[in-house]
Amino acid sequence: MMAKKTIMLVCSAGMSTSLLVTKMQKAAEAQGIDADIFAVSASDADNNLEAKPVDVLLLGPQVRFMKGDFEKRLAGKNIPLDIINMADYGMMNGENVLKQAISLIEG
Bridge partners for 58 per DSSP: 9, 82
Whole-number mean pLDDT of the chain? 93
pLDDT band at 56 (very low <50, low <70, confident <90, very high): very high
Give the domains, in start order, of the chain with CATH numbers.
Answer: 5-106 (3.40.50.2300)
The number of beta carbons lying within 10 Å of the beta carbon of residue 9 is 25
Please give the model's pTM, rounded to 2 decimal places.
0.93
CA dist., res. 90 & res. 77, Å (int): 30
CA dist., res. 5 & res. 101, Å (int): 9
Residue from 7, 10, 11, 40 carrying the catalytic annotation:
11
Query: Does residue 94 carry a catalytic annotation?
Result: no
pLDDT band at 3 (very low <50, low <70, confident <90, very high): confident
Express each pLDDT in 61-88 by its tens digit.
999 999 999 999 999 999 999 999 999 9
- Residues 2, 47, 59, CA angle at the centre, nearest 5°? 65
